[in-house]
Structure 1
Amino acid sequence: MDPNGSSLPIDGPQPDCDFVSPVYVKERFYLVAVFGTTVAVINILENAFLSFMLFKKKSHRSSHMLYLALLAFFDVWMAVAYIPLMSLNLATDYFQSVVLLRAWFTYVLPMITMSHIAMTASSFLMVAASLERYFITVQPNGRKTKWLQKHRMTIAASSVVMGIVCKFTQALEITVSYEPKCYGTMKEYIIEASELTKDPIYDYWRVIFRAVFTNFIPFSLLALINIRIVSIISRSEFEYLHSNKLSDAKRKARVRNATRTLVFVVFTYLLSNVLNVVIILWEYIDYEQIAFEFNNFYTCAVDVVSLLTIFTGTLRLPIYVTCQPNLKKEFVTQFKRALTTSPYYKGYSRTPSVGMSNADREDDKMDVDDEEDVPTEEQKTQYPLLFTLGTVLLVEQNEKDGNACIIRNDKATEDSNDDDV
């Protein structure tokens, strides 16, 4: 079977209807159908949450987070396809169920196409994100950096379109045939290569161009770009640690956190795809050898490749909350808000401290959704004094009288903070 769960194309119908159980079917069932399904469900939950959080805020959609949001979306897509393609396929072989077999063949073609498009689009998105991170690391205010940031939406859309263009014909490359003589058996349906794959021109596109363009080039570019990024970050560590200005240090920390996030995401992608690249190379060099002489290894390796792809998706959320404290704070707030029954719960306190610099306050603004912080009419009616004094009240201790307190609104605070810069 291929990395997305379909059986390998068969040249012509089977001579009889006797079913031969695949190799290691019991072990593969527990690996793919049991453990793999569990991982896929976790993947779906985590990345659905990530997609919601990252697409929700306009500041995320207009920043480098756009790439991470799209990656989370396609991770959900791949995990959803994994369960019916891989898990149900192994369950069909394990239980030798004709009912499951018929169900699997009803959706296998569109599911394979959807899975391939998601994987290809994700690899192109990571290349685009890594390229932008590279120029931000090398030339933060350079012309290329500004161009990539300005056209980020177009680049992301182009990556998705290229994924669709490269893989939308996947469903046309295989055909499903019904065998009346094998009705009610596990050989009732067979899957084989279509006539399109036998066309020399299309075969050149499929084997040479598409394999290189969607597998080897993205893999190589991601490895080279991120090795270069890690090298630059290591050399600039001294400059980062010895920043004189607090605002400068915070800005550099923010850039470095975003860069490290992407580096870890790409690193996990590369690790999970090493085996896939080896298998693809082996297939094009000597398909007969890997498919027949090393059939046991080939079958199990395909299962492992698919499982690694889904498992990598479950690492996205831990990477984001570990590398980016601001995202972690935002995610925790949203999670608590979803659990609480209070309609006025806003999570962690966003009240700025007295003496906070303008740079600190600007950083804090980047983490707050302005639309969510607009008070409702019901809140204003319930707390009239609070909203008369200002949307946020600050209490600071009088320097002259330790027991006295002065209450003032944001405007006065801004004036005092301007003096601190």
Structure 2
Amino acid sequence: MEENMEILENLNDTANFSNEEVDCEFQEPVFIGERFWMVAVFGTLVAVINIFENSFLSFMLFKKKSYRSSHMLYLALLAFFDVWIAAAYIPLMSLNLSVDYYQSVTLLRAWFAYMLPMITISHIAMTASSFLMVAASVERYCVSVQASKTRWMQRNRAAIACFSVILGIACKFSQLYEMQIDKNELCAGTMREYQLSLSELTQDYWYGQWRFVYRTVLTILFPFFLLAYTNIRLVVKLNKSDFKVLQSTKLSDAKRKSAVRNATRTLVFIVFTYLLANILNVVIIFWEYIDFASLTGPLETFYTFSVDIVSLSTIFAGALRLPIYVICQSNLRREFYAQFKKIISFGMLKKYKPAVETDDNENDEDRRTPEPTSLSSRQYPMLLSLGTVLLVESETDAKTEIPSCKVIRHTEKETCEKVQNI
């Protein structure tokens, strides 16, 4: 979805323009119906699910201090940027296809009004997410393979995460100045009212080299291949750690190894979905450098659908984050379920729960029979909690003049007391 998004916009919106001839007739893009249902309908549904899931994840992971100070900080930031990516997908991709499908000039003007800042924010979020994933994978790699580097990674986790975000901004903030929107007054009120073209900044040789070589390698190819390498090493390590957990004789040692294994497995699945979502993007990038003419010529349909699929797979991978956490980590699953249950009930579940479990007799203190063992329960809290039977000497019975004792029996449900003669 990275650089290919720019080419997609040019294909959809500027292929019908000509600087030499003024022709206001709109030519419908290829396979607009099929692409509309794939991107604007199905893609929007996936984006909405992505937004809700990752908003919930961000809230849960940022809420607890223990998560913010652990490796979960990377996953919390990743969920935060996933929200921005999915939120940008709808106005950028879905509305773009809707403009061509409905041939609406109003939607066209709205799309060009926010397109440049929105696409910049989207690319910054995607780049920062890839760097955060690299940082999290390297830390997991150190924990599992290079233990000597683990302490340094953990001590500087916040600084590494901050650097990843700043690096993502530095690589993509200039996206805002790489394109320009020109209004064609002769075609005002038609679908060719606006023209999207490259700015003068991109005509500079050195900036062009940085844009197409350095930035592409740093933000797409380098994270992809580094994540692929670390993921393979982590998968191999996971198989060995499973065997060690089974052999562990100490319960505490087994729990610690199991927690490390679950955290590593979670990240492995997250990185795996990222690699699947971006493998087509990497293929297209290499293809563009090798034979770009074939992509814009006989393979134009394949090229167009490929860009749509890359964009859709990016938000689909983000929508898989929450299911991965729920499946791989039981502690997160319990917390997520409890919080989700609270959200569904709007915080009223706890308030109304006593009213369901009790009846009128239990709520009426005057009609309840007082428990005679309250004093005894306070006198022997430890023994009663163990479910013991106590013989406590009592006063002599006035009628029989025979000493008696109190038999106090405590169970988990009740404490009873009776007097027996001895």
TM-score w.r.t. length of structure 1: 0.81
CA–CA distance in structure 2, aligned partners of residues 329 and 255 of structure 1: 18
Superposition map of 1:43-192 within 5 A = 43-140=50-147, 142=148, 144-192=149-197
Matched residues, percent identical?
A: 59
Superposition map of 1:7-406 within 5 A = 7-8=10-11, 13=19, 15=21, 16-140=23-147, 142=148, 144-340=149-345, 345=350, 396-398=385-387, 404-405=410-411
Residue number in structure 2 paired with 1:417? none
For residues 228-278 of structure 1, give each alpha carbon's deviation from its aligned partner in whole angstroms, at most 9, with x where no partner exists.
111112123221111101111111111100000000000000001000111
Residue number in structure 2 paired with 1:6? 9
**C-alpha contact (below 8 Å) 2:179/2:198 kept by paired residues:** yes
**C-alpha contact (below 8 Å) 1:6/1:108 kept by paired residues:** no
CA–CA distance in structure 2, aligned partners of residues 168 and 244 of structure 1: 53
Q: Which amino acid aligns with 1:3?
A: M
Q: Which amino acid aligns with 1:257?
A: N
CA–CA distance in structure 1, aligned partners of residues 98 and 383 of structure 2: 62
Partner secondary structure for residue 13 of structure 1: coil
**C-alpha contact (below 8 Å) 2:342/2:349 kept by paired residues:** no
How much does 1:100 deviate? Answer: 0.5
Q: Which amino acid aligns with 2:211?
A: R
**C-alpha contact (below 8 Å) 1:13/1:190 kept by paired residues:** no
Question: Structure 1's 131 and 399: CA in aligned 2 closer, same or farther, altered over 3 A?
Answer: farther
For residues 131-161 of structure 1, give each alpha carbon's deviation from its aligned partner in whole angstroms, at most 9, with x where no partner exists.
0000101244x2x100000000000000000
Question: Structure 1's 116 and 182: CA in aligned 2 closer, same or farther, altered over 3 A?
Answer: same
Question: Structure 1's 219 and 175: CA in aligned 2 closer, same or farther, altered over 3 A?
Answer: same
CA–CA distance in structure 2, aligned partners of residues 33 and 342 of structure 1: 35
**Highest relative contact order (Cα 8 Å, sep 6+), 1 or 2?**
1
CA–CA distance in structure 1, aligned partners of residues 4 and 146 of structure 2: 42
Partner secondary structure for residue 176 of structure 1: strand
For residues 82-131 of structure 1, give each alpha carbon's deviation from its aligned partner in whole angstroms, at most 9, with x where no partner exists.
00000000000000111110100001100110111011101100000000
How much does 1:12 deviate? Answer: 5.7
CA–CA distance in structure 1, aligned partners of residues 383 and 144 of structure 2: 39
**C-alpha contact (below 8 Å) 1:291/1:298 kept by paired residues:** yes
For residues 390-419 of structure 1, give each alpha carbon's deviation from its aligned partner in whole angstroms, at most 9, with x where no partner exists.
xxx999543678952489xxxxxxxxxxxx
Question: Structure 1's 127 and 182: CA in aligned 2 closer, same or farther, altered over 3 A?
Answer: same
**C-alpha contact (below 8 Å) 2:385/2:410 kept by paired residues:** no
How much does 1:344 deviate? Answer: 8.2
Question: Structure 1's 342 and 113: CA in aligned 2 closer, same or farther, altered over 3 A?
Answer: closer
Paired positions, count: 361
Q: Which amino acid aligns with 2:19?
A: P
Question: Structure 1's 99 and 231: CA in aligned 2 closer, same or farther, altered over 3 A?
Answer: same
CA–CA distance in structure 1, aligned partners of residues 152 and 180 of structure 2: 45
CA–CA distance in structure 1, aligned partners of residues 388 and 263 of structure 2: 40
Question: Structure 1's 54 and 341: CA in aligned 2 closer, same or farther, altered over 3 A?
Answer: closer
Residue number in structure 2 paired with 1:371? none
How much does 1:191 deviate? Answer: 0.4
Partner secondary structure for residue 186 of structure 1: coil
How much does 1:337 deviate? Answer: 1.7
Residue number in structure 2 paired with 1:366? none
CA–CA distance in structure 1, aligned partners of residues 325 and 299 of structure 2: 39
How much does 1:331 deviate? Answer: 0.5
Quote the RMSD (CA, aligned, Å): 2.4
CA–CA distance in structure 2, aligned partners of residues 78 and 197 of structure 1: 25
For residues 27-54 of structure 1, give each alpha carbon's deviation from its aligned partner in whole angstroms, at most 9, with x where no partner exists.
0000010000000000000000000000
Which ranges of structure 2 fall in alignment gaps of 5 or more residues?
352-373, 391-407, 414-422
Q: Which amino acid aligns with 1:321?
A: V
Partner secondary structure for residue 182 of structure 2: strand
How much does 1:60 deviate? Answer: 0.6
Q: Which amino acid aligns with 1:103?
A: A
Question: Structure 1's 395 and 80: CA in aligned 2 closer, same or farther, altered over 3 A?
Answer: farther
**C-alpha contact (below 8 Å) 1:12/1:192 kept by paired residues:** no
How much does 1:6 deviate? Answer: 2.7
Q: Which moved more, 1:76-85 or 1:240-249?
A: 240-249
TM-score w.r.t. length of structure 2: 0.81
Which ranges of structure 1 fall in alignment gaps of 5 or more residues?
347-384, 408-421
How much does 1:284 deviate? Answer: 2.0
**Which one has a bigger Cα radius of gyration?**
2
